[in-house]
């Protein structure tokens, strides 16, 4: 049997709070038990005021209102934290880099950057995160869940912030306004980018080649060119990429997914940009105009390639024989001529090729497949290019139009030959006339022999 003294000492031990200071027993006891139970969801609390705060979730009541912007909160503590936005006060200072924060929990998160600690680990793929919320959102990738649904169009999103951004499309709200030209934007980050137009600023400069960028993220991506770093690895075929977006695009090759579909002709694309450029074929719009000769192009890269005609620039130089090329891919292909290298090897017969496209064509010999079938006459073709050329027989389309005289051709090669007429190039016409002449002469001789 314990003595009264022992019981009293036990009460005294319980009657100490976490700091070791004395407190009333009836204040400390609820820490060790949760007597206050919510009648709606059976959640229990150690103290009654916590239950009262919890009940506001069910009633959706937000009694604490900000006098500055009228935003309302369930808890007075949340209102006090919010008020720091208006006062600009940031009392919590980082000892390492002196960055200040309005709220202590934000300082705590920030400190993890300096320590490098990522305590929240995904059990599926072992990816780690600094914030628990980031892990929670990441888990939805594995489950495929998109819990945040738009009530207007039923689009669903993994993260609440993504839904909020999406809702601006329906509301038409553009809360972020440029003070210089009064143009408004739905997102603050877009406003920040826009401001560089007025300042002319590209504050983020590469120390290696002095190229400047508007955004720090763009500079970081650019630096991978110099370092040669490719941190994003495909788990299927081990190809590495400098940027995650390029890996994501690449993964669609393995899945076969083409999520971007043209509403006009139902053609599908792996990348959104490809669909955007494809749409110009229906609208006939060529937004990229050459300032020298006013030729217009559907895609920006085509304009860039065209400009090399005017500048005479051939930026890709072969060190072996000093031949220069307008395209880097042509330089790479040409280098194999000098080195004799044929890096692409057939696994069936060990035949090697300089170009991967040649290996792909060769492989069709082994598998005997003719993958591309004409929908009109069911004729099969090994190569998509040949199918496209064949389809013109059925459609009668003449897609290749001369910009000078509007004459149209079924094949691009025919258009190229035709262009020599306008360019004043006699060599092509002479070559054609010589060919005709030779055929006539050969025909005459064959006729004599027959006689």
The reported pLDDT for the residue numbered 83 is 84
pTM for the full model? Answer: 0.31
Q: What DSSP string describes 21-64?
A: -B--HHHHHHHH---EE-TTT--EESSHHHHHHHHHHHHT---E
Spell 366-383 as b/e; 16+ CB within 10 A means b: eeeeeebeeeeeeeebbe
Region 325-349: mean pLDDT is 60
Helix, coil or strand: residue 333:
helix
The reported pLDDT for the residue numbered 261 is 86
Q: How confident is the model at residue 53 (pLDDT cuts 50, 70, 90)?
A: confident
The helix (H) or strand (E) run that includes residue 248 is: helix 244-255
pLDDT in tens, 5-16: 444 444 334 444
More confident residue, 451 or 116: 116
Q: How confident is the model at residue 32 (pLDDT cuts 50, 70, 90)?
A: low
The reported pLDDT for the residue numbered 424 is 62
Mean pLDDT of the chain: 75
Q: Give the single-character DSSP code of 123.
A: T
The reported pLDDT for the residue numbered 325 is 43
CB-CB contact of 295 with 309 (8 Å): no
Q: Does 121 map to a domain?
A: no
How many C-alpha atoms does 126 have within 13 Å on its Cβ side? Answer: 0
Q: Does 437 map to a domain?
A: no
Q: How confident is the model at residue 351 (pLDDT cuts 50, 70, 90)?
A: confident
pLDDT in tens, 255-301: 778 888 888 888 888 888 888 888 888 887 788 888 888 888 878 87
pLDDT over threshold 50, residue 58: yes
Q: Does 217 map to a domain?
A: no
Percent of the residues in the chain that have a pLDDT greater than 70, as a whole number:
78
Q: What is the 3-state secondary structure (H, E, C) of 218-232?
A: HHHHHHHHHHCCCCE
pLDDT over threshold 60, residue 440: no
The reported pLDDT for the residue numbered 314 is 55
Q: What is the CA radius of gyration of the chain?
A: 35
Q: Which domain holds residue 80?
A: 43-115
d(CA 322, CA 71): 69
Domain count across the chain: 1
The reported pLDDT for the residue numbered 430 is 52
Please list, in sequence order, all residues whose beta carbon lies within 8 angstroms of the beta carbon of residue 374, skipping any fewer than 6 positions away.
380, 381, 387, 390, 391, 394
Region 162-169: mean pLDDT is 80
pLDDT over threshold 50, residue 213: yes
The reported pLDDT for the residue numbered 86 is 82
Q: Does 143 map to a domain?
A: no
Q: How confident is the model at residue 126 (pLDDT cuts 50, 70, 90)?
A: confident
Spell 83-117 as b/e; 16+ CB within 10 A means b: eeeeeeeeebeeeeeeeebbbeeebeebeeeeeee
pLDDT over threshold 80, residue 180: yes
The answer to which of 187-191, 241-245, 310-314, 381-385 has the lowest mean pLDDT is 310-314
Region 208-229: mean pLDDT is 82
Q: How confident is the model at residue 56 (pLDDT cuts 50, 70, 90)?
A: confident
Nearest CA-CA partner of 292 in 276, 311, 273: 311
Strand bridging mode 324-325 / 316-317: antiparallel
At 87, which CATH number?
3.30.160.60
Q: Does 391 map to a domain?
A: no
pLDDT over threshold 70, residue 133: yes
The reported pLDDT for the residue numbered 234 is 84
Q: Does 47 map to a domain?
A: yes
The reported pLDDT for the residue numbered 449 is 41
Region 14-32: mean pLDDT is 44
Q: Give the single-character DSSP code of 16.
A: B
Region 226-245: mean pLDDT is 83
């Amino acid at each position: 049997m314990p003595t009264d003294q022992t019981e009293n000492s036990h009460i005294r031990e319980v009657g100490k709070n976490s700091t070791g200071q004395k407190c009333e027993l009836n204040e400390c006891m609820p820490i060790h038990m949760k007597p206050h139970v919510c009648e709606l969801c059976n959640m229990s609390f150690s103290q009654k005021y916590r239950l009262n705060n919890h009940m506001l979730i069910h009633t959706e009541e937000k009694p604490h209102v900000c006098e500055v912007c009228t935003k309302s909160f369930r808890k007075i503590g949340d209102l006090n934290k919010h008020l720091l936005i208006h006062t600009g006060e940031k009392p919590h200072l980082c000892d390492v880099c002196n960055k200040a924060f309005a709220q202590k929990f934000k300082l705590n998160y920030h400190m993890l950057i300096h320590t490098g600690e990522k305590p929240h680990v995904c059990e599926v793929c072992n990816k780690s995160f600094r914030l628990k919320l980031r892990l929670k959102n990441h888990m939805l990738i594995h489950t495929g869940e998109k819990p945040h649904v738009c009530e207007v169009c039923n689009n669903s999103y993994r993260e609440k912030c993504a839904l909020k951004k999406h809702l601006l499309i329906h509301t038409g709200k553009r809360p972020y306004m440029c003070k210089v030209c009064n143009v408004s934007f739905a997102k603050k980050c877009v406003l920040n980018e826009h401001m560089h137009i007025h300042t002319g600023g590209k504050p983020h400069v590469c120390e290696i080649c002095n190229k400047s960028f508007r955004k720090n993220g763009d500079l970081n991506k650019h630096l991978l060119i110099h370092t040669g770093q490719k941190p994003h690895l495909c788990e299927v075929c081990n190809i590495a990429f400098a940027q995650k977006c390029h890996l994501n695009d690449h993964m669609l090759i393995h899945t076969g997914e083409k999520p971007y579909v043209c509403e006009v002709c139902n053609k599908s694309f792996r990348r959104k940009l490809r669909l955007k450029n494809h749409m110009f074929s229906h609208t006939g719009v060529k937004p990229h105009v050459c300032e020298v000769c006013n030729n217009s192009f559907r895609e920006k890269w085509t304009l860039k390639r065209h400009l090399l005609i005017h500048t005479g620039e051939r930026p890709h130089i072969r060190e072996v024989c000093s031949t220069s090329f307008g395209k880097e891919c042509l330089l790479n292909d040409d280098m194999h001529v000098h080195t004799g290298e044929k890096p692409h090897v057939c696994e069936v017969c060990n035949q090697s090729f300089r170009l991967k496209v040649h290996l792909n064509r060769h492989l069709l010999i082994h598998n005997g497949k003719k993958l591309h079938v004409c929908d009109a006459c069911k004729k099969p073709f090994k190569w998509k290019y040949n199918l496209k050329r064949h389809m013109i027989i059925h459609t009668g389309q003449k897609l290749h139009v001369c910009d000078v005289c509007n004459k149209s051709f079924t094949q691009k090669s025919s258009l190229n030959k035709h262009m020599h007429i306008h360019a004043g190039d006699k060599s092509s016409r002479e070559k054609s006339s010589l060919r005709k002449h030779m055929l006539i002469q050969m025909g005459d001789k064959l006729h004599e022999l027959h006689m």
